[in-house]
Chains A and B, each alone.
Chain A
Amino acid sequence: MNPELKAFYQDLILQHNKQPIHFYAIEAADHILEAYNPICGDRFKVFLKLRDQRIIELSFQGYGCAISKASTSVMVEQLKGKTLEEAKQLIEVFYQSIESQVEEAPSDAPSAFSAFSAVQSFPGRKPCVVLAWEELETFVKQP
């Protein structure tokens, strides 16, 4: 396997794909977001429970490729418990991380974020990486 491909399908991503974090529906969710890519058919529901501007519960369910599933899994893992303001900032940090070389990633970025920077070698797969993130971004940024 060539190095780019190995970096893209690295253990962290394969592990999240196999055993995603918070992979369940929240019965009494305050909000359910739908992350859907009509081109490839990837479709996740993201469930949120909020209290005092804080995401107290965050989970997801659905179907997608290893990359979109792992990136959604990392998203719910990292953003659960954050305030909406913190979530906004972390989403930006995620975008910066995937656009940077691993060693140049923002210093406050969780290490899991940089796993997705390998997408730079596979530009056609970027929509998979950001699928759920963009939905959540729209939600937290709404007035």
Chain B
Amino acid sequence: MTCSMLDQQLLLEIKNDFPLLRQKMKNGQSLAYLDNAATTQKPHLVIEAMVQYYQKQNANVHRGIYQLAAEATAAYEGSRQKVAQFIGAAKAAECIFVKGTTEGINLVAQSFTAPQLQAGDEVLISAMEHHSNLVPWQILCQQKGAQLRVIPMNQKGELDLDAFAGLLNPKVKMLAIVHLSNTLGTINPIEQMIQMAHQEGIPVLVDGAQSIMSEAIDVQALDCDFFVFSGHKLFGPTGIGVLYGKTQHLDSMMPYQLGGEMIRSVSFEKTTFARIPNKLEAGTPNIVGAIALGKAIEYVEKLGKQTISAQLQTLLTYATEQLQSIAGLNIIGQAAQKSSVLSFTLDGVHPHDVATILNEHGLALRAGHHCTQPIMDFYHIPATTRASFAVYNTINDIDRLCEAINDIKNIFA
């Protein structure tokens, strides 16, 4: 393979960090897990951190003064510090723990944008948004009599920046944009887009669900107003994610869930809210999730995003070359700036038939619309099969994929 290929020994060690990848599938083959855009597998140290927490630390946070409660609180808040440093936030209080990307976006839509959105205003998204960065804005616009505007893309799956410039105007109250498309793999030029939006005074939310793993994220350098990601696409557990927001925005937001943990004082007449981040984290949080996310971040930092990113590019380049050489296979999404995701269709074979047969070869791939139906409509296809990579994937996984696709072609010949 190419010289940019990771050292074989290192790659083997990385793979060994993930216990699930050692499992055999039902026909006895080893697993080639290629559905990392849906969720990533978990390294041993993340799983161990969760077990250890419940065996040795479990107590509610921010409440007790006994030793366990203090330790749990320190671990939970320690994770928030790690998150802040990982994404370059000015302070930990700007990182709100949420369930995941979806909750983070809904929180911003309901608590930040909704109060300022008037009839006739606009919200701007792109043609390649995941439903989670589309539906909350669409429904909000419908409720307020506002317009949802869509930045168009070209056939390669790249956003049209001239059209984007034309859509910017003072009526736009939010630009919500995906960083790395979960269906096309496109990496959008968010730095430039944020600058352009800010010139018009438009706040920007970046959906970082897919980019958090491989792209260098510095929220202060990007100057984004909000950045959202999920822990489970970063080797962490499900049910935990992060909403980063600039302090002045988070301070201005009315909490959308009310209750314990988020108050300063309560009487029957009046409640005053705690400061951020607690104000926006009502109820007992996902403590173990937050702690395990901290461990996942440690793991990613140990590997280094550059290493991860290089490995993903190696895999994507190799997979693109190999799949392109298969007659009747069409790659959906050919952006110049692309990472880790490869969607395709196979002439005459439905993606669900493809995925069923791939499964029989021990290959785990997703078939469907990937929660991006408008992208399917754009390309006039009902669905794609998608290979999405993580650092533990190998050239051998891709070779097995190509062999299996040839098998499918024989069955459907």
Q: Mark B334-374, 1 if CB is under 8 A from A, else 0.
A: 00000000000000011111001100100000011100010
Known contacts: A1-B411, A63-B382. The answer to whether A40 contacts B352 by CB under 8 A is yes
Which residue of chain A has the shortest Cβ distance to B354 in the bound complex? A65
Q: Mark A112-143, 1 if CB is under 8 A from B, else 0.
A: 00000000001011001000000000000000
Write out the residue numbers on chain A whose beta carbons fall within 8 Å of the beta carbon of B376: 41
Question: Of B349, B352, B382, which contacts A125 at CB under 8 A?
Answer: B352
Which residue of chain A has the shortest Cβ distance to B352 in the bound complex? A65
Write out the residue numbers on chain B whose beta carbons fall within 8 Å of the beta carbon of A41: 368-369, 373, 376, 382-383
Cα(A125)–Cα(B357), bound, Å: 12
Write out the residue numbers on chain B whose beta carbons fall within 8 Å of the beta carbon of A125: 352, 356
Does residue B412 face the partner (Cβ distance < 8 Å to A)?
yes
Q: List 17 A-B contacts (CB under 8 A).
A: A1-B411, A2-B27, A5-B360, A9-B357, A9-B411, A17-B412, A39-B368, A40-B383, A41-B369, A63-B382, A64-B350, A64-B382, A65-B352, A66-B350, A67-B353, A69-B350, A124-B356
Question: A141 to chain B: closest CB distance in Å?
Answer: 28
Binding site for B on A (CB under 8 A): 1-2, 4-5, 8-9, 14, 17, 39-43, 63-67, 69, 122, 124-125, 128
Write out the residue numbers on chain A whose beta carbons fall within 8 Å of the beta carbon of B382: 40-43, 63-64
Q: Which of B353, B356, B367, B376 has the most CB of A within 10 A?
A: B353
Question: B375 to chain A: closest CB distance in Å?
Answer: 12
Known contacts: A40-B367, A42-B382. The answer to whether A14 contacts B411 by CB under 8 A is yes
Does residue B71 face the partner (Cβ distance < 8 Å to A)?
no
Which residue of chain B has the shortest Cβ distance to A13 in the bound complex? B353
Binding site for A on B (CB under 8 A): 27, 349-353, 356-357, 360, 367-369, 373, 376, 382-383, 407, 411-412
Which residue of chain A has the shortest Cβ distance to B360 in the bound complex? A5
Write out the residue numbers on chain A whose beta carbons fall within 8 Å of the beta carbon of B357: 5, 9
Question: A12 to chain B: closest CB distance in Å?
Answer: 14
Write out the residue numbers on chain A whose beta carbons fall within 8 Å of the beta carbon of B383: 40-41
Which residue of chain A has the shortest Cβ distance to B376 in the bound complex? A41
Question: A8 to chain B: closest CB distance in Å?
Answer: 7
Cα(A112)–Cα(B173), bound, Å: 58
Cα(A41)–Cα(B352), bound, Å: 10
Question: A45 to chain B: closest CB distance in Å?
Answer: 14
